[in-house]
Amino acid sequence: MWGEGRESQQYIKQQEDITDSTSSNMKLLVVIALLGLSAAAAWPSYMSDEPDGVPTHQKQHDVNYAFYKIFEPLRDNRLADKATSFNPVGDISMYKDGGVAVRHLMDELTHGRLLEKKHWAVATNKRHLEEAIMLFEVFMQCKDWNCVASNGAYFRERVNEEEFIYAAYHAIKHSPLTQHVVLPAMYEVKPHHFTKTQVIEEAYEAKEMRLRNIIFQK
């Protein structure tokens, strides 16, 4: 009986220790949560959208579709409409440089001096790099997201795919308009460089199925 009483006391002591430990952990979690809320209040951009007021999820959506199946036409209807109706030099007030960069790029495009689509382009080629930087400069001169998205859609359908990827990728990395936008992995943008064709097609079909399911669920 004495042994049983001793075991009972040990059991009770263990339970008390567990309770104290749980209580301490709960207090710690509360403190962490309060600190997080304080940080959010002190740092407005912590849970806010991009500086131009456009929701981050909209920018992320546009970026995802701009890079999706880059060697094929745009799959997003809104971006596709921009690609056909937008005039890059129609309103130069949307650019910080007054349209200098975009006019230069449009001049190269309209006179057929840019590398055509479906041609191999590499950053080590001086001319290819120059063309990509022209588009990069256009993106960086945009004052708001509509300017970026519209130019992105327009030039995606007209310039070399590899040059577009280079320009858009680096612009999104450095633009103050895309502080919270996450770039897709390069193997997702250019899977042909990493995977066999059959695997790519199966992955595309699976992704399209997921996209359709998401749309139908909304």
Q: pLDDT for 36-85, tens place per residue?
A: 444 444 444 434 456 788 999 999 999 999 999 999 999 999 999 999 99
Same domain, 40 and 61: no
Same domain, 105 and 180: yes
Same domain, 77 and 122: yes
Q: Is the pLDDT of residue 35 over 50?
A: no
- pLDDT value of position 15: 53
Q: Do residues 150 and 86 touch, judged by C-beta distance below 8 A? A: yes
Virtual CA dihedral for 62, 68, 73, 77, nearest 10 degrees? -40
Asked whether residue 210 is domain-assigned, the answer is no
- pLDDT value of position 202: 66
Same domain, 116 and 158: yes
- pLDDT value of position 36: 46
Asked whether residue 123 is domain-assigned, the answer is yes
Residue linked to tokens 């097609």: 201
Same domain, 93 and 146: yes
Asked whether residue 41 is domain-assigned, the answer is yes
Q: What mean pLDDT, rounded, does the chain reach?
A: 80
Same domain, 19 and 66: no
Between residues 174 and 205, which one has the greater pLDDT? 174
Any idea what the CATH number is for the domain that residue 103 is in? 1.20.1370.10
Asked whether residue 203 is domain-assigned, the answer is no
Q: How many CA atoms lie within 13 A of 112 on its CB side?
A: 0
DSSP state of 183: P
User: What is the C-alpha end-to-end distance of the chain, expressed in Å?
Assistant: 66
Q: 31: pLDDT confidence band, cut at 50, 70 and 90?
A: very low
Same domain, 30 and 86: no
Q: How many CA atoms lie within 13 A of 91 on its CB side?
A: 10
Asked whether residue 106 is domain-assigned, the answer is yes
Between residues 63 and 7, which one has the greater pLDDT? 63
Encode pLDDT of 38-48 as tens digits.
Answer: 444 444 443 44
Encode pLDDT of 173-197 as tens digits.
Answer: 999 999 999 999 987 887 765 555 5
Closest CA to 134 of 169, 162, 163: 163
Same domain, 86 and 170: yes
Structural domains of the chain, count: 2
Residue 97 has a CB neighbour count (10 Å cut-off) of: 13
- pLDDT value of position 204: 62
Asked whether residue 112 is domain-assigned, the answer is yes
- pLDDT value of position 53: 86
Burial class (CB in 10 A: 0-12, 13-18, 19+), 176: exposed
Which structural domain, as residue segments, surrounds residue 134?
56-184
Q: How far apart are CA 149 and CA 54, in angstroms?
A: 11
Q: Is the pLDDT of residue 8 over 80?
A: no
Asked whether residue 91 is domain-assigned, the answer is yes
